[in-house]
Structure 1
Amino acid sequence: MTILTTPRLSLRPLTPADLPAVLAYRNDPEVARYQGWALPATLESVAGLVSDAPLGTPGWVQRGVWAGAGLLGDVALNTDPQRQQAELGVTLAAWAQGQGYAAEALRALMAHAFADLGLHRLHASIDPRNVAVARVLTRLEFRHEGTSLQSYWHRQEWTDDARYALLRSEWTP
């Protein structure tokens, strides 16, 4: 099990007891607007987020983002060890947004991915209307690699897909 810490945060596995809080923020229309999960999120649909698999295990591995005793949201790493790459993602409750938590949690995830797991490349795929996350990725030195126009059907409309990436050689610890 991988637990990451920062001065303000702890990134640790979600437990079944956390799922009601996860459901609350994942069903918030403002939080879910640019995210890919089906709505409404159900206990069954979020149960798969509970795992003590180490970060770096192939596929998506989630970690709850905690400040003190409060669950703020979650981050995830989708690792492809054969390609030495991973996709990362972040979701925060609306009340936790705008306070630097996303950047802090992603920075910890990046450090683990590059320094501890030895990954070559990290990437993120976002709806370009999610300007706040685009700003966070840019601030974290991710490069906008391109946008595929109307490339996937999401929430009853064709949606663009903006891709961001960072190589380990470009990363500033």
Structure 2
Amino acid sequence: MKDNEGLESARLMLRRFTPADAPALAAYRSDPEVSRYQSWESPVPMEEAERWANTFSTGNPRDPGWFQYAVERRDVPGLIGDVGVCLSEDGRQAQLGFTFAPVFQGRGYATEAVARTVGHLLVEEGLHRVWATCDGRNVRSAKLLGRVGFRREGHLVQSTWFKGEWTDDVFFGLLASEHRAAPDSGHGS
């Protein structure tokens, strides 16, 4: 991904992170409801957000491992969330994750960003499969994945010791062939 490249949808730009994104990143990732099902603890100190933004800004979306897209609205610049993609070593599958600021939740932005990312991975990049996992209590994320076309593949009961308690893990998957067959797969997004 070159500095000027990114993904666009009707209302959003998914782009490379910049150091200027650190304050917004710290703000929404510090919200206890945002961090509840995520691997980090809140609050997120500004120094940590600056390190994250710098690390995210140097990644290559075509290299194995995690790449984080900064998400902003096309009409008003400014970070509203992020979508992470973890490309497998063989480059044929990817795991997906997403985090959005509370003020921008419930407006379809996360669904639009995830759908655009999935279309990019399965259609433009030619991956075979995209998958995601979420905490069994994270109903909103599970519903979003269903809206985008993911199939629920498994539910592991109390399988992870996480933030001081046993939690369920729910797995979702989507094959390129399923995405192409969907009536509203967003190929032209």
**TM-score, structure 1 as length reference:** 0.93
Shift of 1:137: 0.6
Q: Which residue of 1 aligns with 2:19?
A: 16
The 5-angstrom pairing of residues 52-131 of structure 1 reads 52-67=58-73, 68-82=76-90, 84-131=92-139
Shift of 1:165: 0.4
Give deviations 1:6-46, integer Å, cap 9, x for gaps.
11000011111111110110010111111122333234544
Q: Distance in 2 between matches of 1:9 and 1:22?
A: 17
Which is further off, 33-42 or 162-171?
33-42
Shift of 1:53: 3.0
Q: Does structure 2 conserve the Cα–Cα contact (< 8 Å) formed by 1:56 and 1:81?
A: no
Q: Distance in 2 between matches of 1:136 and 1:169?
A: 20
Gaps of at least 5 residues in structure 2 are none
Which structure 1 residue ranges, 4+ long, deviate > 3 Å from structure 2? 42-46
RMSD value over aligned CA atoms?
A: 1.5
Q: Which residue of 2 aligns with 1:155?
A: 163
Percent identity for Structure 1 against Structure 2: 45
Who wins on radius of gyration, i.e. which is larger?
2
Q: Distance in 2 between matches of 1:141 and 1:153?
A: 29
Aligned AA for 1:48?
W
Gaps of at least 5 residues in structure 1 are none
Q: Does structure 2 conserve the Cα–Cα contact (< 8 Å) formed by 1:87 and 1:123?
A: yes
**TM-score, structure 2 as length reference:** 0.86
Q: Distance in 1 between matches of 2:78 and 2:166?
A: 36
Aligned AA for 1:4?
L
Q: Does structure 2 conserve the Cα–Cα contact (< 8 Å) formed by 1:10 and 1:65?
A: yes
Q: Does structure 2 conserve the Cα–Cα contact (< 8 Å) formed by 1:56 and 1:113?
A: no
